Amino acid sequence: MTAVSQYDPDAPIGVFDSGLGGLTVVSQMLRLLPRERILFVADQAHVPYGGRDLSAVRGFACGIREGMLVAGCKAIVMACNISSATALDAVQANHPNTLVLGVIEPGARASLATPRCTDTCSTSPLLVTTHHRFAPSRS
């Protein structure tokens, strides 16, 4: 598959999820970026991604990326938690000039910006790891 070779500011932003939950991301994007066009893909053929082999999830995500690039998307948002956690690097690979965003890091950064995070992060091993990864200076 071949992607559009030149950046087009009028091209859509691609958003995908394993199901329909990603529409919440789309609604916020449209609220914040009302002039942007959005191409949304819900991978109903493979939903749910949970419980699947992680290499399969990476394959699904990379396949969707290729379809979005062929459709001319100027950027891609992985609105799926599982694919963001397991396939972000793979989706970013081979297309370094295309902006690809997952949903985990922005959510983690936003939660770390709240005052309550200090107390909560100290009691949860997962949140401690996230805290150290995304806000090491606040540790």
In tens digits, the chain (139 residues) has pLDDT values of: 444 456 788 999 999 999 999 999 999 999 999 999 999 999 999 999 988 999 999 999 999 999 999 999 999 999 999 999 899 999 999 888 899 999 887 777 776 677 666 555 555 665 566 656 666 555 4
Q: Compute CA 126 distance to the chain's CA centroid, rounded to the nearest angstrom.
A: 19
Whether 95 and 117 share a structural domain: no
Sheet with 99-102, edge to edge strand ranges:
38-42, 13-17, 75-78, 99-102
What pLDDT, on the 0 to 100 scale, is given for residue 139? 46
Host domain of residue 127: 103-139
Does 1 map to a domain? no
Whether 47 and 85 share a structural domain: yes
Does 21 map to a domain? yes
What pLDDT, on the 0 to 100 scale, is given for residue 8? 87
CB 28 within 8 A of CB 1: no
Tokens for 125?
A: 């091993």
Angle formed at CA 103 by CA 51 and CA 93, multiple of 5 degrees = 80
Does 110 map to a domain? yes
Q: What is the CA radius of gyration of the chain?
A: 16
Helix ranges, 33-124 (H): 54-70, 81-92, 104-112, 117-121
* CA dist list (Å): 35 to 22, 29, 70: 19, 10, 22
What pLDDT, on the 0 to 100 scale, is given for residue 119? 58
Whether 77 and 110 share a structural domain: no
Question: How many structural domains is the chain composed of?
Answer: 2
Q: Which residues pair with 102 in a beta bridge?
A: 78
